[in-house]
Amino acid sequence: MNPAIHISRISANQLDTIISLGEKLQSEESRYEPHLIFNREESRVHYEEELSNPDALIVAAFLEDDTIVGYQYSYVHTLDYLSRKNRECVLEALYILPDFRGKGIGKQLVTFSEDWAIKGKKVDRLATHIYSDNEASVQLHLKRGFTSYNTELIKHV
């Protein structure tokens, strides 16, 4: 049985939990990108600024007892290389605790963020950057209507 989850914006007093989840996200992503470095203080400064940024969104998945089991960070920016339809929302970070994966929480977080961006921010497109080997995240976004847009090739030296 899937747990009862509600999605909502976080408050400043929940920032420590989000930063801890972000650290777990980067730890897991180190499989794909071995040079990732997590800096707790830089993360705190960034997310504190984003809490007051009207073009940024940090939402969490809450259990009934208000325990946070996942989060999504997104931001809207203007693309300078398009003359029209240049407002883009980047779904930047998505993390769900391992025990809660496969229960539809990622879909709920992405849907909430998409609605905020499309209805509230009137964006022209959505983007996300996923390591190609992260098959679960790739599949989640493909099911939500995302398509492959470009291929970036990296050679670590």
The whole domain housing 27 covers 6-143
Q: Is residue 134 part of a domain?
A: yes
pLDDT of residue 157: 79
pLDDT of residue 1: 61
Whether 5 has a pLDDT exceeding 70, the answer reads yes
Q: Give yes or no for a contact between 48 and 42, defined as CB atoms under 8 angstroms apart.
A: no
The closest alpha carbon to 61, from 115, 100, 13, belongs to 100
Whether 16 has a pLDDT exceeding 80, the answer reads yes
pLDDT of residue 103: 94
pLDDT of residue 12: 96
Q: Is residue 154 part of a domain?
A: no
Tell me whether residue 34 is exposed, middle or buried, using C-beta atoms within 10 angstroms of its C-beta: 0 to 12, 13 to 18, 19 or more: exposed
The count of domains in the chain is: 1
pLDDT of residue 8: 97
Q: Is residue 148 part of a domain?
A: no
The closest alpha carbon to 141, from 69, 99, 90, 77, belongs to 90
Tens digit of each residue's pLDDT (9 = 90 or more) over 77-127: 998 886 677 899 999 999 999 999 999 999 999 999 999 999 999 999 999
The domain that holds 137 is classified in CATH as 3.40.630.30
pTM: 0.90
Q: Is residue 72 part of a domain?
A: yes
Q: Is residue 61 part of a domain?
A: yes
Token pair of 59, please? 């939402």
Tens digit of each residue's pLDDT (9 = 90 or more) over 28-77: 998 888 888 899 999 999 999 999 999 999 999 999 999 999 999 999 99
| Alpha carbon distance 106, 111 (integer Å) | 8
